[in-house]
Each structure stands twice: as C-alpha cells, then as structure tokens.
Amino acid sequence: MKLGFLTACMPERSLDDIAAWASMQGFEALELAAWPGAGDRPFTATHLHADRFDEAEADRVRTALETRGLTLSALAYYDNNLHPDPQERAAVHAHVRACIDASAALGCPPVGTFIGRDPSRSVSENLREAEEVFKPLVDHAGQRGVRLMIENCVMEGWHPDGAPGNLAYSPELWEWMFDQGLWLNFDPSHLLWLGIDPVAALKPYVGRVAHAHAKDAETFPEQRNRFGFFGRLSTRDEDPWDMGWWRYRIPGLGEVDFRRYVDTLYEGGFDGVLSVEHEDPVWGGTPERIEQGLRVAHTHLRPMVVG
C-alpha cells in the first residue's frame, strides 16, 4: 500500500509544484483532480486536462510524477452523472469518457466519479435510470482496461432538503453498483456521520475497493440534539453543505479508527493507494494551512502504511 493525497485541495498550484512538495514530504502517490474548468465549486481543481488530453499533456503528467518517484493513483472527476438537465448530463458523461481515455494513456489508474441523482425523482427511479446511463460508460472503461469507481460520498448539498445527492452512500447501494460493473473508492468519513461503522461496512467488500480515501469526521451530539440527523434547515439556502452537527477532519483528528481501517484493508488484500482527501476547515483557508494539514495526516498515517 502507498500513501498519497488528492490534489483538489491545492487548486491554485501547478501539478509540477504539487508533485515536488509531495515528494519532499514523503508521499508516494497523487490522485489527480481532473475537473474541466474547475474553480466554481469548492474542492475541485484541474491538474490534468482530460478535455484536451494529448501526448504533450501525457508527457507533462508523466514527467511531473516520475521525476519525483510518485505514482498516479487515480483520476478524480466527481460530478452528477444523473443531472436533471440533459445538456449538463451529456457534458458530464463526455468528460467521464475523456478521463477514461486519459487514464488508458497513463497506465490505467482508476477513474473516480459519482452516481449522482435527479432530486425530482425517487431513489428507485434514479437507480433504474442509472443502470442505463452507466452501461456505456462501464463498457467504455472495460474496453480501455480502466476501472470506473464511485466514491461513497453522500453529497447532501446537491439535494434541496439535504437528502443524499449521490446514490452510493451505503453497502446496500454498493452491491447494486458492483452488479453494474462499477468499483468503489472507499471513504470512511461519510459512513461515520451516517451512523455506519466504517470498518464493519468495509470488511466484506475490500475486494471491490479500487482506491481508498483517508478522511476523518467529527460529530457534535449536542448539535444533533438541536437539529436532528438531517441537519440545520433554517439556513440551508445559505450553505447547503452546513448540516451543523458534524464536519470533516484530517485523519486522526476525528472519530474514524484509522488503525482498524488500514488493518482491514491489509487483511482483505488491498495493495493500492490510501489517498488523503483534505477537506478539514480547521486546517484550510490558506495554502500554508493546507500544507500543515497534509503533514498532520502524513504523520498520523505513515506508521500504519508500510508498503
């Protein structure tokens, strides 16, 4: 297993700069943000240009990583593949395909995205449609030798009432995903605040984990007593992501048991990359704080990830 991080937390920095810094800090891999024209949403970035990928872009990426001894762990383009607007949906699908093609040219690391959801339709209606939507994407990935994976993020901010906006948040839905030929980018933080034991949930499915995130979560029971599980509602229009009773943290600063998590990955035969996804508000806000947060994560995880 190798230790890396997702580059989306550094949207203003070049890939070459990030790779140099990551190598100096002892990271071994990078999960490259590959959103098109990123910047309008938090935690998105463009460190690989899938929409204009050519041999020059491939050489740029290879040189940035290989000269620093870094592995490309995955391409990250997490967007709504069930977007209700047909034009938006078509654009998302086209970019997923572009990421798959870029991956194939770079040694076939997995490509990460979301199932998503049309919030105007029921869960069962969305799942039936997703089976049709994802078949050509999975087929395209299979033809290119690439694993298409889904992160189990809830994406509650995509739904007007804070309901799950990405239909991949529970083991029940993972089993449905696997039947479609999809893989899992496992993130323990989302399960924790849902009330699901991340380690117990992971154990039966390690064999379908193509990539693993390292992100923690901290809960505030006294605030949950005020707002309820579905979170703060009176200010939902102001910030759809602020549920008021939990927040993401750097690994080791929340409630995920990373010792058990990493051990379960090893026991299940996982030999991929554990990638830090930095969305901690305490260690965010400036490039310097983000670097400090990643160093905190590295210090916590390095003794567990032995290669």
Q: How far apart are CA 69 and CA 65, in angstroms?
A: 6
Q: What is the mean pLDDT of the chain?
A: 96
Domains of the chain by start residue, with CATH: 2-213 (3.20.20.150)
Please write the tens of the pLDDT for every residue from 147-205.
999 999 999 999 988 899 999 999 999 999 999 999 999 999 999 999 999 999 999 99
Tokens of 253: 């600063």
Binning pLDDT at 50, 70 and 90, where does residue 303 land?
A: very high
Q: How far apart are CA 11 and CA 38, in angstroms?
A: 8
Which residue(s) pair with 293 in the sheet? none
Please write the tens of the pLDDT for every residue from 5-56.
999 999 999 999 999 999 999 999 999 999 998 656 778 999 999 999 999 9
- Angle CA 141–184–265, to nearest 5: 130
Are the CB atoms for 302 and 219 separated by under 8 Å? no
Whole-prediction pTM: 0.97
